[in-house]
Chains A and B, each alone.
Chain A
Amino acid sequence: MATFIFLVAAAFCIAGAVGIVLFRDAIRSVLSLVAVMLALSSLYLMLSAQFIFAVQVIVYSGAVMVLFLFVIALMGPVREQPSTRLRFQGLLAVIVAGSFAGLVVAMLGGVRYHAPDKGAVLSTFGSVESIAYGLFTTYLYPFELTSLLLLVAAVGAIYMSRRERP
């Protein structure tokens, strides 16, 4: 059962990823990206990371992708035209993608997977409680600094967008 779910989710992931690149219609690409996000969230769930699953769906599928859709809907249904300027782009893409795939294979080939520790309780591993405990004890400073960074980014974005006006 678990293998079957994994295979379905992985297939959706790969199909979506291919779709993002291949669709000429921007809205189809965004929808493919949504499919990838949802498939990823189910993979998280299978790794017993329940909280990450929910946050993945709420934040990425729910908020970020909707903003993407928002922008595309405002632009209107503009189809991306096949580019004529970069003639060697196709060849270049094959070379870059090929070397990147080689890099990934080389990197993953050296990874040694090991079973979870004997004492680890998987059911509490990714629960809200354990993540909250980690965030507010061991990783408190990184957590707070990250939120400060996000705040600075948000304030900066608002300042930049309003600068022209009196």
Chain B
Amino acid sequence: MTNLYNDPFWHWIVVLAAMLALLFSLVTATAYVVFLERVVIGHIQRRPGPNRVGPRGFLQMAVDGIKLVTKESFIPRNVDLFTYIAAPSIAVLAALLTWSVVPFAIWFGGVSYWIANVNIGILVIFAISAMNVYAIMLGGYSSNSKYSLLGGLRSAAQLISYEMSLGLSLVPIFIITGSLRLQTIEGWHGGLPLILVAPLSFVIYLISAVAETNRAPFDLPEAESELVGGYHTEYSGFKFAMFYLAEYMNITAVSAIATVVFLGGGSGPVLNWVLWLAIAVAVFLLLLWSRFVPPFGALVVAAIVFAFAGLDTPLFWFLIKVLAILFVYIWLRSTLPRLRYDMLMQLGWKVLLPLSIVNVIVTALVFVALT
């Protein structure tokens, strides 16, 4: 098996196929991240959650999607039409582009294929996430509504403030690994999780990432009690769905980056098939007990887990870690109250930013002392 990646013609075919596969699986996965969130929050709040459509509510997201797409797309009077339509498009575009550099490798014939392997991977991610501000700002501005405008302005201030601690939290990683290439960071010392070396960076990253994706307890831009729906108050139908989709894609992307940078990405024990079978059975029993999916669905998931044993172990560990971080996200949302706006800014500027600068300096000093 030669490496198709090096052939100029096959290179584009492979990349195009990978992009299409990623697009399809990302949109589907995003829908089920929403479903997971609703079920988990339901459990935490001691209520059933979605359980009407399909077995155990499993088709709820498909129905929601059809509802949003077929709904009347209402455009309020006096909106700035060009920016009003551009805003949700930018949101989805930025969310999808982030995934182009995530080392989401697919193993085929002993070679791993990814969409892009760039040597400034993390900088590209920062650059794309900077575009996210435009979606929210323009959505808030163009809607011609005070709630939207205030939500958009708050969000721009919040995103700019937390972007700095987000960036600085990853600087120790560059110092330690000596690279900005995500594939190199992932494979540092054979996939040793960097959280063991830089735990403070991980904490700062996680907090800033929650703020960057506008999630509770930092969901000030769309604080329902103050701003109705924030920047997307005036959006309905498919345009609202695009904002919604982008939010969850961003969460998954941020979790994937945390997995790659701090948790060693796809590294994990390579097991023999007996252990894989045991894991599959454990997953089956766990899913039956949790009642997250119907029994048949649990069987399918267990079969997929077992199939990973022969096909793509790194992808399996990668997904497990992403799922774990996503769970933390949902957990935070359902248990923490929303911060007040001035508290949010104080946390960003007076706690996280100095802490991340100290983190960088200490890491650099220790690194110089050790080498």
Q: Please report A residues at the B interface, Cβ cutoff 8 Å.
A: 27-28, 31, 34, 41, 50-51, 53-55, 57-58, 61-63, 66-67, 69-70, 72-74, 77, 127-128
Alpha-carbon gap, A68 to B130, bound state (A)? 14
Q: Contacting A62 at CB < 8 Å: which of B80, B141, B163? A: B163
The answer to whether A27 and B141 touch (CB under 8 A), given A61-B130, A62-B133, A63-B130, is yes
A57–B130 touching, CB < 8 Å: yes
How many whole Å from A83's CB to the nearest CB in chain B? 23
| A contact residues around B123 at 8 Å (CB) | 50-51, 54-55, 58, 128
A73–B126 touching, CB < 8 Å: no
| A contact residues around B127 at 8 Å (CB) | 41, 53-54, 57-58, 61-62
A128 (CB) vs chain B CBs: closest residue: B180
Q: Please report B residues at the A interface, Cβ cutoff 8 Å.
A: 80, 82-83, 118-120, 123-124, 126-127, 130-131, 133-134, 137-138, 140-141, 144, 149, 152-153, 156-157, 159-160, 163, 180
Alpha-carbon gap, A60 to B152, bound state (A)? 19
| A contact residues around B152 at 8 Å (CB) | 73
| B contact residues around A62 at 8 Å (CB) | 126-127, 130-131, 133, 163
Alpha-carbon gap, A51 to B83, bound state (A)? 30
Among B83, B118, B137, B159, the most chain A Cβ lie within 10 Å of the Cβ of B137
Give 14 CB contacts A-B under 8 Å. A34-B134, A50-B120, A53-B127, A54-B127, A58-B126, A58-B127, A61-B130, A61-B131, A62-B133, A69-B134, A70-B137, A70-B156, A77-B144, A128-B119
Alpha-carbon gap, A127 to B178, bound state (A)? 13
What 6 pairs across the A-B complex have the smallest Cβ distances? Answer: A62-B130, A54-B123, A57-B127, A73-B141, A50-B120, A66-B133
B133 (CB) vs chain A CBs: closest residue: A66
In terms of DSSP, what is the predominant structure of the interface of chain B?
Answer: helix
B141–A69 touching, CB < 8 Å: yes
| B contact residues around A74 at 8 Å (CB) | 153
Alpha-carbon gap, A77 to B149, bound state (A)? 11
A126 (CB) vs chain B CBs: closest residue: B120
| B contact residues around A69 at 8 Å (CB) | 134, 137-138, 141, 156
Alpha-carbon gap, A67 to B159, bound state (A)? 12
The answer to whether A31 and B133 touch (CB under 8 A), given A51-B123, A54-B123, A62-B127, is no
A54–B153 touching, CB < 8 Å: no
Q: Contacting B119 at CB < 8 Å: which of A34, A50, A58, A73? A: A50
How many whole Å from A105's CB to the nearest CB in chain B? 34
Alpha-carbon gap, A72 to B83, bound state (A)? 14
Alpha-carbon gap, A27 to B310, bound state (A)? 54
A54-B120, A58-B127, A69-B141 are known contacts; what are 6 more A-B pairs with Cβ within 8 Å?
A: A51-B123, A53-B127, A54-B127, A58-B123, A61-B127, A66-B156
Alpha-carbon gap, A31 to B153, bound state (A)? 17
How many whole Å from B368's CB to the nearest CB in chain A? 13
| B contact residues around A31 at 8 Å (CB) | 83
Q: Contacting B80 at CB < 8 Å: which of A27, A50, A66? A: A27
